[in-house]
Structure formats: structure tokens, C-alpha cells
Amino acid sequence: MTAMPMTNGGGGREVWVTGIGLLSSLGEGLEAHWTQLGGDTQLAPSPVIEAARFAPYPVHPMVALDLNRQIPRRSDQRQMEAWQHIGVYAAGLALDDAGIKGDAALSSNTHLVVAAGSGERDTEVDERILELAKACGEGDLPANEILPSALRPTLFLAQLSNLLAGNVSIVHNVTASSRTFMGEEMAGIAAIENAVRRVASGQVAVVLAGGALNAERNDLLLNFELGSMLWSRPYRATWERSDEGGGFVPGSIGAFLVLEARDHAEARGARPHARITGVLSDRSDRTFGAAASSGSRLITRLVRPGDLAGLAVLSGASGVEPVTGDELGLLTSDALGSIRPPIRAYGTALGHGVEAHFPAGVALAALALSKGAFYPPLDAAGIECPTLAKPDRILVTGFGHWRGEGVALLEEIV
Amino acid sequence: MSATYLDAKGRPVVVVTGRGVVTALGAGRTSNWRALTAGRSGLTRISRFSCHGLKTTVAGTVDGLGVEPYSAPALCVAMATEAASEAILEAGIGTPSAFPGALFLATPPAEIEWPQRRQLYAAPSADDARGYRRLLAAARLGRLESAFPEFQFASVADRLSERFGTQGMPVSVSTACASGASAIQLGVEAIRRGDTDAALCVGTDGTVNIETLVRFSLLSALSTQNDPPEKAMKPFSKDRGGFIMAEGAGALVLESYEAARARGARILGVVKGCGEKADDYHRTRSKPDGSAIIGAIRSALADAGTDPGEIDYVNAHGTSTPENDRMEYLSLAAVLGARIATTPVSSNKSMIGHTLSAAGAIEAVFSLLSLEMGFLPPTINYDVPDPDIPLDVVANTGRDAQIRTVLSNSFGFGGQNVCLVLGAEPT
């Protein structure tokens, strides 16, 4: 929404990040990510890549999860597919981190906002049907003979976008309200923006917000490759794909945040990671230069001159061109005044999490602010410059691979 | 700001200034209202695809908008465009290509459909690969690149945003069968927060295709009472047997009362309150004690500052499934108490079918028409009352009734329940 940027000076309530649940190819939880991303050593991480299984498409595979730790009932585990396992697991980590898990009254008063794409298809059934359909040429799809016996009822529930949220409610008893946003990267931006606006305006006190992506799926790859959006060459860092036309490397990611009103967090003694001072979003038509103009307007409105000191940038760039190049041009121009903040395209290390990508960026920003250090450069090309300065503020960007621009600003809580 | 523009909680009052609707009964408020008041059903035998061998062969499809060949996103866009155009025209707000506010859209999940999969599969393949490897190879060669935008989740909202020139990032929401009500709730909240003065809230669903039909059928949610098609849904009846999938779109223009009055707009109703409560019991069933549904109704009443005794009429979720109608009755009885026996209840779905993601928006439009016209559309096919559901069902023929406050219920698979309290303009 373009109207009304929120800032902590705007009279609204302060929004704190009091819980983070993060899962990716790099590991499970905050400490694993801080270590793997070289937060302490300032050594560039080695991305975890699955190059063979979906060749020619590299993907970042999810680290092995012991589902029993966050989804204790086997019957619940069976009712979900992988993207839901990832999301419910990450949501549980965030609730644990915030000290909400197991508090029935607080869980029941916690609102849920999820960013979701399509659920998972039974690709083996699809492949059988395609072979049969090929045999019958142009005729009707023989689906009515095949589908009723081939499809599992539970898989439909894994396909409905809102059923990640449904499963989070069932497993973690978060039930105050439940909203699922869709629209690829815009889903993640809308989820965080909606949660932050509701807390800042005093509508609600605690929101669990986030998303999940299972990148290890042929049906998901097909949805994006239809538009030639995937990177189909050996893995390279996000900024280093443009001379081969660009493209994104999907990454399995689960990213959930507990966003809480400061007074509510203080009253229950919750420890904050960082404060979110604002989230803004817009949609440009992606004609030449439109994404950069849109992003520039958002950054100008969100990042005030007084916010530039100690600023660092976590870019959600996907690697898809030309938008990735447009964003890099913007971030290295005077859009951020004369300073040249350190920039990290976190998708280089995690892969692109589509709906989960913006929540993951906000999670990594809050983590760095709570640690009082920034991440080392993730690329080898020198676009990302080293810094030993402690970040006071982190700007998270989200330029969708096809549509949508969003930015969030987080601050250290001193 | 004058006090009348604020509600009892000090928030901007949110009013409706435009309404648009498309269902299997037709396009536009006039044709829909005529059919609804006459008790006419829009459910017909499915002709879009062969139903040979399927248990359910009836649906409420929207076939008159010239979407050829059919695809769910294309039909969703066409119906939503029709409904939104009608709503914006009625509101007389902005210009046809520049709506001065945000877009909140309830839309079904989008994914590549069988015709596209088959087209990719039929493309020549260098190594005669099979399965998804073949599909991906064809996609990589750009065989169907033009179809890409259509099958992005963001596509329907993006097309509407472009067409109507709405402000900011369009928001697509899914809470399954409560989505339409969620879209309205998002608009109400944005106006109350002062994020925007106006909102275009749309629900659309055009997913009557073979795969979705089979999937709902496998969940045992669909009616198999195919003959005659117009009697396939029997909400609140003892012989009800499930719902029938249907298509349609509903659109509302919402504005702050102050902004609407300032531009001299006609006020068509007030969205007094919205309430939600999620269920943590089961993926397709509600808690046996009804607490989540009861919670949603109570939270809507509390948000509206409305006493249960002020509810004059209930536009029910009324899906005609054994489970929903019983739970909806029990929950209404818990909240309305003894008044439940004399509070009229209709299920529009008896005539238009279950329009899924669009239902909450379409039924809000019909609720607002009931407020304006002083007439309650019937619940048709109510021939065998269920003694366990002693509701005052508006049975088979509509009823004249001057009402001031309507409760509109929407409950989704996955346990997402949303209720709206709609009222007449404050006097």
C-alpha cells in the first residue's frame, strides 16, 4: 500500500520482533544460520546446492528435519506435504523463541498471517495421466477415469494455499485469526506488512507471520520455468548471473516471525531481537525502469536522512533479470544518500524462497541486529563489500521476480 | 472529524458505496436479484467437460462471459472485472481506470491446468524425455511462455490492478471458503487505520474444472443429488447431501463514511464489524463444541458494537453439508439464544451454489440488497425440515422484511471462520 508509512515517530505502537523461526539448506534455527552465514568469522559461507536431482536446475535443499520435534502427532505429519512440514516447523521454532509455545491463553490470542503459494501436486499421478492423455491425442482428458482412484483426499488439503495456516493452527493452537496471502514474493511482503500495520495501529498485540517454500518439487519448478525464470546453469551468486540472462535458484525455506507490540512484550518479559520501524510496498508494471522508480520512492519514504547512519542492506534480489540489475543499480546509486551501505543478497546463500523470501530477509535482519554484527560478503565478484561496522539499522528489500516491490526497515533495540 | 463519522470505538465508520455481482444466475445486481427473489436456481448439468463416471455432475458455472478456451484464472479475471466495474460505476468514484484506493482480492489458488500440461507434453522433445522432465524441457524452450503470467498467483490481482488503476500493491487473500469475507475485512481494517480512504474488495472464483470437482468429491463434500440439478443443494433440510461447486464474483466499494459523504456518494450500507476465529480441531471439520464459529460470530458482534438482539437476519454460510448446517445452527443458537427461533435465515447457496473463494463477497452484496430492498431471498428446496435445526428458515419463497442489521457468515476448510455485520446507514 502506498499510503501512510509507519514510523516509530508516527504515534503508533512500536513493533518488536520477539520470535524467529528459520529453516533452510544452511540449517535449523538462529544459531545455525548465524554460524553458517559466517556472522562470527566473517568468512563467506558455502552454499548448499543440490545440482543433480532437478538438473539442469540447481536448488538449495532443506536441511534434514526431525519432524517429531515440532509436529509431535504422527497423524498431523501424515496430513501434510513437505511445504507444510517446513512451515509448521518454522512456526513452532518462532513460537518457542518467543516463549509463546505451550501458553494456551497466549497462543489463542496470537494472530496468524501466512504467505503461501500453491501446495504440492502428486507428480507421479500427473505423469501417468499425461502418458494416457498422449495416447488419446486431442480427445478429452481421461481424467474422470483416473483421478478419482489416483488422487489421495489428503493431498487436496496439502494443495490448498490456506492449509499451511490451517495446520499451524491445529498443531500450535494459534487461533486468534488466520489470513493467508498469495502472490509469490508479494505474498510475503503483504504478510509482513499486514502483521506490522495491525500491531502498530493497536488492532492486535501479537502476530505470528511468515511463509514456507519447498523448492524440491518439479511442479513448482514448472510453474516458474514456464516464464523462463529459473537459473539452469551451474550455481552462481545472485548478482553474478546477469551476463547469462539471469534466473533464480529456488531454495527450500521456512521463515516465521513473532511480531509483538512493545508494551505487550515488556509486560510478559519477552526478549526482543529488533524493532520494525516500517514496511512499505507497491506494484509497478515492470516496464523499463519502473521497478527501480517504484523501489526508489519506497526507500525514500521509508529511510529518512537520519536513518542512514549505520545502515546495511539485505537484498531479496532473486537473480531474475532485468529487475535484479535494476535493484543493484538503485542500491548503489544516490537513493540512499551519499552513503554506500554494505549490501548482501541473502538469496545467494539461502536460495530464492519466493513467498518465504521477504520473511526470511526480515528474520536475518533481526538476527544481525540482535548479534550486533553484519554478514560477510556472499559473492565472489566484489559487489558486496566487507564491513566490520555494527549495523544500527537494516533495510530489507523485496523485488518480486515478476511483480511487486516491498521494503522493510529494522532497528537495533538499545 | 465530526463524531458521526466515528464508531463507538473511535474508528472511522466504513460504508459501502458500490456493489457488483456475477453468479450462475447472471451478470449484474438486477438480474441476480430478480432470480433470487423468484427463488430460481442457477445450478445446471455440467457441460464444460465430460462428467462420465463422476458422482457429481451439477455445478453453477458462469458461461456467458466469452472466456474461451476456459481457464480458471481467465474466468476469475473476467468475472471480477464485471463485478468490479458494476461496483465502481454505482459508487461513481474516481475514473474507470483510476480507482482512488487499494485492491483486496479473494481468489482461488492458481496453477497450470491440464490443457497447458498436455500442450507442453505434446511438444517435440529432443531426448524423448518423459514426465516432468519433458514438461520442463518444453517450458525451457519457451513453448508456452505467454501462459506464464496467467498461472502466477499474483495474476488475477495484477490484471485487476492494471485495469482499474488501484493504488499500491494489490493484496490477494485466501481463507478458503471465507476468502470473500476476508477481502472485505482487509478493506475495512485498512480504512479504519487510515491507510486508505477507499478500497475495492473483490471475491472471485471460477474453478469448476474436472480436477477440482474430483478433489472436492473425494472429500465427500459434494452433493450427489444430481436430478434435477436445481434441487441439488438443500441447505438446512433433513435430506441435504453436500454442496455444489459454483462460480461467480462479488465486489464492494468501501469508503470512510466521511470521504463518501464529502463527495456526495449514496450510502448503501455500513460494514459495522468483522470477526474471525480460527479452528484448531481438524482440517475439514469444526470443533464439536462450535467454539471457533461461535468465537467468530461473537468477535464480529463485538467489533461492530452490536448486541446479539439487534441481528434482524442471518445470511448463512449454509453449504448444505450435514456438518456445516448443524454446526452453524448450534453456533447461532449459542450466540442469539432464544431469539434464534424468530430470526430469519437464508442460504443464498441454495440457488447460486457454493462460490467458494467468492462466496463471502457475493453474499455480502446480497445482504446489502436485502437491507436496501426490504426483502429476504428464500432458501429453496426446503421441503423436509431437519428437526435438529429449528431455524426460522426463509423457506422456498422470499419474505418482505424491513431489516437494519444482517449477520453474514463464511466458514472455510482449514478452519478459517469470518463473519461480517452489515447495517443500514446511521440515521
Q: Lowest mean pLDDT: which of A1-10, B289-298, B382-391?
A: A1-10
Torsion of CA B336, B342, B344, B347, to 10 degrees: 70
- Per-chain mean pLDDT for chain B: 95
Q: Is A149 exposed, middle or buried (0-12, 13-18, 19+ CB in 10 A)?
A: exposed
Question: Which residues in chain B are closer than 8 Å to A186, comparing Cβ atoms?
Answer: 154, 169-172
> Which of B133, B280, B281, B303 is the best residue to mutate to test the A interface, defined by the most A CB atoms within 10 Å of its own CB?
B280
Contact yes or no for B140 and A228 at CB 8 A: yes
Collapse the DSSP code of A124 into the 3-class scheme (helix H, G, I; strand E, B; otherwise coil) and give the result: helix
In chain B, whose CA is at the least distance from the CA of A403?
B154
Q: What whole-number distance in Å separates Cα of residue B38 and Cα of residue B340?
A: 25
> Are residues B364 and B313 both part of a single domain?
yes
Distance CA A407, CA A291 (A): 13
Q: How much of chain B exceeds pLDDT 70, in percent?
A: 99
Mean pLDDT of A19-40: 98
pLDDT of residue B304: 98
For the segment A229-280, what is each residue's pLDDT rounded down to a tens digit? 999 999 999 999 999 999 999 999 999 999 999 999 999 999 999 999 999 9
> Can you give the pLDDT at residue A1?
42
Q: Which of A90, A83, A275, A114 is nearest to A207 (CA)?
A: A114
pLDDT of A147 above 80: no
Tell me whether residues B158 and A403 touch, CB distance under 8 A: yes
Cβ of residue B94 closer than 8 Å to a chain A Cβ: no
Provide the 10 A C-beta neighbour count for residue A410: 28
Q: Specify the number of domains making up chain B.
A: 2
Q: Are residues B238 and B145 in the same domain?
A: no
At residue A141, the pLDDT reads 67
CA B372/CA A102 separation, integer angstroms: 48
Whether B269 shows a pLDDT value over 90: the answer reads yes
Among A180, A405, A406, select the one facing B175 at the smallest CB separation: A180
Mean pLDDT of B2-29: 94
pLDDT classification of A336: cutoffs 50, 70, 90: confident
Could you tell me if B138 and B174 lie in one domain? no
Lowest mean pLDDT among A334-338, A410-414, B285-289, B396-400: A334-338
* Interchain CB distance below 8 Å, A222 and B132: yes
Cβ atoms A71, A88 nearer than 8 A:
yes
Q: What is the pLDDT of residue B124?
A: 87
Q: What are phi and psi of A157, to 5 degrees?
A: -70, -25
Res A143: pLDDT: 66
In terms of C-beta density within 10 A (0-12 exposed, 13-18 middle, 19 or more buried), how is residue B163 classed?
A: middle
Residue B366's domain is classified under what CATH number? 3.40.47.10
User: Residues B143, B292: one domain?
Assistant: no
User: What is the per-residue DSSP string for A186-248?
Assistant: HHHHHHHHHHHHHHHTTS-SEEEEEEEE----HHHHHHHHTTT-B--SS---GGG-GGGTB-B
* Band (A8; pLDDT cuts 50, 70, 90): very low
Q: Are residues B405 and B332 in the same domain?
A: yes
Is residue A314, in this structure, part of any structural domain at all? Answer: yes
Contact (Cβ atoms closer than 8 angstroms) between residue B218 and residue A156:
yes
Which CATH number fits the domain that encloses residue A231? 3.40.47.10
CB atoms within 10 A of CB B115: 14
Give CA–CA dist B386/B236, Å, rounded: 6
Same structural domain for residues B85 and B141?
A: no
Residue A158 has pLDDT above 60, yes or no: yes
- Whether the pLDDT of residue A4 is over 60: the answer is no
Do B175 and B311 fall into the same domain? Answer: yes
Here the cell at position A294 is 517504484
Shared domain for B73 and B120, answered yes or no, is no
| pLDDT digits 0-9 by tens, B239-268 | 999 999 999 999 999 999 999 999 999 999
- pLDDT of A324 over the 90 cut: yes
What is the pLDDT of chain A when averaged over all its residues?
A: 93
Q: Tell whether B137 and B181 lie within a shared domain.
A: no
Contacts of B205 (CB under 8 A, 6+ apart): B76, B106, B107, B108, B247, B248, B249, B355, B356, B357, B358, B359
Q: Which residues pair with B277 in a beta bridge?
A: B417
Q: Does B292 touch chain A (CB under 8 A)?
A: yes
Nearest CA in chain B to A217: B132
DSSP B234-272: -TTBTT---B-BB-EEEEEEEEEHHHHHHTTPPP-EEEE
How far apart are the CA of B402 and the nearest CA of chain A, in angstroms? Answer: 33
Domain that holds residue A111: 15-119+160-411
Q: Which residue has the higher pLDDT, B110 or B65?
A: B65
H/E segment holding residue B412: strand B405-412
Q: Verify whether the Cβ–Cβ distance A130 to B182 is below 8 Å.
A: no
Cell numbers linked to B220: 465427500
Out of A153-157, A318-322, B92-96, least confident range: A153-157
- Inter-chain touch B130–A131, beta carbons under 8 Å: yes
Q: Is pLDDT of A50 > 70?
A: yes
Whether residue B283 is predicted with pLDDT greater than 90 in this model: the reply is no
The pLDDT score that the predictor gives to residue A140 is 67
pLDDT tens-digit series, residues B146-171: 889 888 999 999 999 999 999 999 99
Span B102-107, mean pLDDT?
98
Q: Distance, in angstroms, between B126 CA and closest chain A CA?
A: 15
DSSP secondary structure of B359-373: HHHHHHHHHHHHHHH
Asked if the model's pLDDT at residue A9 lies above 50, the reply is: no
Highest average pLDDT, of B274-283, B342-351, B412-421, comes from B342-351
| pLDDT(B33) > 50 | yes
A112 found inside a domain: yes
User: What is the ipTM, given to two decimal places?
Assistant: 0.96
* pLDDT given for residue A6 in this prediction: 43
Would residue B4 count as lying in a domain? no
Segments forming the whole domain that contains residue B93: 15-110+152-423
Residues of B in contact with A231 (CB under 8 A): none
Which residues of B are annotated as catalytic?
A: 177, 317, 354
- CB-based contact (8 Å) between B70 and chain A? no
pLDDT of residue B218: 87
Tell whether B226 is covered by a domain.
yes
Q: Which of A80, A182, A229, A232 to mutate to test the interface with B (most CBs of B within 10 A)?
A: A182
Q: Where are the beta strands (DSSP E) in B132-245?
A: 171-174, 198-205
Compute the average pLDDT of residues B91-109: 96
- How far does the CA of residue A386 sit from the closest CA of chain B (Å)? 34
Q: What's the structural domain count of chain A?
A: 1
Q: Is residue B9 a part of any domain in this protein?
A: no
B53·A148 Cβ contact <8 A? yes
Distance from CA of A355 to the nearest CA of B (A): 10
Query: Which of chain B's residues have a Cβ under 8 Å away from the Cβ of A141?
Result: 49, 114, 118, 210
**Domain for residue B299, yes or no?**
yes
Of B106, B119, B112, B107, which is closest to residue B148 (Cα–Cα)? Answer: B112
> In sequence order, which ranges of B40-92 are alpha helices (DSSP H)?
72-91
Q: Is residue B24 part of a domain?
A: yes
Whether B3 is in a domain gets the answer: no
Same domain, B197 and B258: yes
Domain assignment of residue A222, yes or no: yes
CA B250 to chain centre: 7
Is residue B296 predicted with pLDDT exceeding 90? yes
Q: For residue B193, which residues of chain A lie inside 8 Å, CB to CB?
A: 4, 197, 201, 203
Task: Select from A177, A189, A407 the residue whose CB has the most chain B CBs within 10 Å, as the one to mutate to test that interface.
Answer: A177
The answer to whether residue B89 is domain-embedded is yes
B223 with B366, same domain: the answer is yes
**Quick check: is B198 in a domain?**
yes
- Find the CB nearest A144 among B196, B210, B219: B210
Q: State mean pLDDT over A13-20.
A: 98
* Partners of residue A397 on adjacent β-strands: A315, A407
Q: Is residue A15 scored above 70 in pLDDT?
A: yes
Asked if B181 and B311 sit in the same domain, the reply is yes
B206-229 tens-digit pLDDT:
999 988 998 899 888 999 999 999
